[in-house]
Structure 1
Amino acid sequence: MSKKLLFLFFLSFSLNGFSQYSPITENTKVSILTVDVADESHTLYGHTALRIQDATNHFDAIYNYGMFDFRTENFILKFAKGDLQYYAASYSYDDFEYSYQIENRSVYEQSLNISLAEKQQIFDKLNTSINSEDRFYTYKFIHRNCTTKIIDVVNSVLKNNPIKNTLHKEESYRDVLFPYANNHFYMQLGINIIFGSKVDDQAATLFLPLDLMNVLENTSYNNKPLVSEIKTNFKANRTSTFSFLDSIYSLIIVLALFVILNKKAANCLYFFILGLIGLLFSTIGLFSFHEELLWNYNVLLFNPLFLLLVFFILRNNTKWVKKISLISLLFLGSYVVYMFSKVHLIIVLPFVLATGIQLARLAFKKA
């Protein structure tokens, strides 16, 4: 078992027992911590936590709203459905930083310039929360996550909710999220085709850790900067390398092979895969609580009609193959027109071209 796995194993037994009440003193620091991004899907957008540190009482704790339990019954189903319960927990700062040293992720700290009474209120709110049923919450990708929960706690204590979203006035959520996966093409592709029209709304909610860190640097409170000190507690040494297999070029080659091969079996396989993806997109909204997955216009590209097309190809029913191909071409054309203003057009373009060529061949094939 790796050191990281051992650490997580022992940490899981200490989360519930670490939290303790300790009086706030003049030496107490309340800080917002930002953990930088990494390469795995659950680390792609970073992380936010809150630190309470008091040298007088030898108290140094993290309050983390990003906890979930892999042992939850039907974990994958609950995550997909959107009713997986996340929870808040408190544990040692040293354990927190060590876990991200293992993952080679930078940790930044911004100390809040607030009064002793406000520090006490934040501390009390955090401890009340993690020692009650309030520690559990239903995770929402944009509107309820580790970052928004920390903002809610701090804003609930400070006057006039000083932490506000001052970024991305013209950008959509999709525009904001898109660059985070620039070095992971297939993850970027998957994220953008599974997200529906909700993420094309203007990015009004402050929900990403690095965005919160940038906002805090320019936030004032009581006519002074809200952040009194900015530190890098751990600096990761990360390098990005190009992977041909995880790039648009590998996708182009695979799709080009289907187009060049142009065989019945290959065409059936191609349209069957795309049709299944479209069927997933069409039905996921019936059971998922994730608003980001609703009204997914990418079904115009990954069209469930392709499953019916495959059926008629296998039955050698030329009449219906032509009809469905023409209808699908109309859907594909509508998709391209709608996508002109979307940031992810470039990464789905290989599918647009390959599918358009295949459909045109079937629609206008001579008897």
Structure 2
Amino acid sequence: MTKKILSLLFFIQFSISYCQQLPISESTKISIITVGLADEVHSLYGHTALRIQDYKLNFDLVYNYGMFDFSTENFVAKFAKGDLQYYAAAYPYADFEYSYREDNRSIYEQVLNLSTLEKQKLFDKLNTSLLPENTFYTYKFIDRNCTTKVIDIVNEVLENKPIVKKNINSSTYREVLFPYANNHFYEQLGINIIFGQKVDNQATTIFLPLDLYDNLKAISYKNEPLVSETNIIFEANRTTPISYLDSIYSLIVVLLLFVILNKKATNIIYFTFLGLIGLLFSFMSIYSFHKELFWNYNILLLNPLFLFLVYFIIKNNTKWIKKISIICLLSLGIYCLYVIGKIHFIIVLPIIITTSIILSRLILKRQN
């Protein structure tokens, strides 16, 4: 991995020194490339890059703003905190296309309708973004990613920043994101319970590759379509197999076991698990720079108070078991009222029902 990265960085430096002095020809084509979805967590939402072809000067490069290094020290902690550094790289387009064909991911090209002067400005801007002082940026899920970086750099060159969201409706960011994880239930559940209030705001900006692809079709520039040509470079034929293990049904079966068994030990396991997740989310909302994690009301579902409840269950402290159970049940009721109209309500409903049943049993069992 290290050798590959060093080779890539060498190529980048070579490209910068070469391309910065290079006036492009009138026949140069600049395209926005959209890559389709895949099944891994980091590929659920697609990818965006820029392509520059100049056959007279014999180069065809892709500028990719979605580069990151898995071998980064404390990678997971940095990603969670929100200070993981992504970087830009330029390399042969053929390598880019080959890798995504190998992954069986669709590739779409939208050629931008720009003047030669605008193409030159954009080309120069792209190469400037590869300089050591510019190439790294702090990744943000909605506000700064491979798609927003492409939008920003193109808008900087064009008059009046024409690339803006055209298909604005009442949908929230959460509602926009939700269908991307269809057939990936536990990823869908995890994404929706770790995100807080921000993703419930109306989606007014473009931050996803396919949304950019759709919006570019409707954008005009200087009274002409911004996209002069759309090409399907590769159409993937992929289907995500339906797995009952990765579905709401498997969750219901597991939760049903806790309800049926109704033992002290199973209650301790259940509330310890939920409480630890809630404690983690509470910590993340303070520790992380990701604004999407702030004000996470899902903590009312995955309540850190469950850990105190576990302690008193172990100690057989009837008084405090009842008090904390009532507090947690009231919190759960508030949560239910708050999320009942939100798109992820159905997928958290089994947890709401199970927790309500177990808490109610604890309260009724300790009635005088």
Secondary structure, aligned partner of 1:25 = coil
* 1:265 partner letter: A
Matched residues in 2 for 1:16 and 1:289: separation?
32
CA contact (8 A) 2:51 2:63 kept: yes
CA contact (8 A) 1:168 1:176 kept: no
Q: Alpha-carbon deviations, 1:148-189, whole Å to 9, x = none?
A: 010011111111111111123211110100000011000000
Q: Which residue of 2 aligns with 1:235?
A: 235
Q: Which residue of 2 aligns with 1:344?
A: 344
Q: Which residue of 2 aligns with 1:96?
A: 96
User: Given the superposition, is the C-alpha separation of residues 258 and 265 from structure 1 closer, same or farther in structure 2, using an over 3 Å criterion?
Assistant: same
Matched residues in 1 for 2:6 and 2:201: separation?
38
The TM-score with structure 2 as length reference comes to: 0.96
CA contact (8 A) 1:110 1:229 kept: yes
Moved more, 198-207 or 44-53: 198-207
Matched residues in 1 for 2:224 and 2:334: separation?
52
How well do the aligned residues superpose, as a CA RMSD in angstroms?
Answer: 1.4
Moved more, 301-310 or 13-22: 13-22
Q: Which residue of 2 aligns with 1:148?
A: 148
Shift of 1:14: 2.6
Are 1:17 and 2:17 an aligned pair? no
CA contact (8 A) 1:65 1:88 kept: yes
* 1:326 partner letter: I
CA contact (8 A) 1:16 1:89 kept: no
Matched residues in 1 for 2:245 and 2:65: separation?
35
Q: Which residue of 2 aligns with 1:323?
A: 323
Matched residues in 2 for 1:207 and 1:121: separation?
24
* 2:7 partner letter: F
* 1:136 partner letter: F
Moved more, 8-17 or 228-237: 8-17
Moved more, 76-85 or 11-20: 11-20
Give the count of matched residue pairs: 361
Q: Which residue of 2 aligns with 1:56?
A: 56
* 1:211 partner letter: D
For structure 2, the 5+ residue unaligned runs are: none
Q: Which residue of 1 aligns with 2:292?
A: 292
Matched residues in 2 for 1:159 and 1:290: separation?
31
Matched residues in 2 for 1:14 and 1:291: separation?
32
CA contact (8 A) 1:88 1:135 kept: yes
Matched residues in 2 for 1:272 and 1:174: separation?
28
For structure 1, the 5+ residue unaligned runs are: none
Q: Which residue of 1 aligns with 2:126?
A: 126
Secondary structure, aligned partner of 2:286 = coil
Shift of 1:77: 1.1
Shift of 1:284: 1.0
User: Given the superposition, is the C-alpha separation of residues 9 and 353 from structure 1 closer, same or farther in structure 2, using an over 3 Å criterion?
Assistant: farther
Secondary structure, aligned partner of 2:287 = coil
CA contact (8 A) 2:33 2:110 kept: yes
Matched residues in 1 for 2:349 and 2:285: separation?
25
CA contact (8 A) 2:322 2:366 kept: no
* 2:234 partner letter: F
The TM-score with structure 1 as length reference comes to: 0.96
Shift of 1:72: 1.6
CA contact (8 A) 1:312 1:321 kept: yes
Matched residues in 1 for 2:191 and 2:281: separation?
12
Matched residues in 2 for 1:182 and 1:72: separation?
30
Structure 1 residues 42-191: aligned runs within 5 Å: 42-191=42-191
Matched residues in 2 for 1:132 and 1:306: separation?
48
CA contact (8 A) 2:198 2:292 kept: yes
* 2:8 partner letter: S
CA contact (8 A) 1:151 1:163 kept: yes
* 1:91 partner letter: Y
Q: Which residue of 1 aligns with 2:211?
A: 211
CA contact (8 A) 2:166 2:219 kept: no
CA contact (8 A) 1:15 1:91 kept: no
Shift of 1:76: 1.3
Matched residues in 1 for 2:120 and 2:236: separation?
33
Matched residues in 2 for 1:361 and 1:324: separation?
13
Q: Alpha-carbon deviations, 1:286-333, whole Å to 9, x = none?
A: 211000011100011100010000000010111111111111110000
Shift of 1:12: 6.1
User: Given the superposition, is the C-alpha separation of residues 300 and 240 from structure 1 closer, same or farther in structure 2, using an over 3 Å criterion?
Assistant: same
User: Given the superposition, is the C-alpha separation of residues 241 and 268 from structure 1 closer, same or farther in structure 2, using an over 3 Å criterion?
Assistant: same
Secondary structure, aligned partner of 2:39 = coil
Shift of 1:16: 4.0
CA contact (8 A) 2:196 2:296 kept: yes
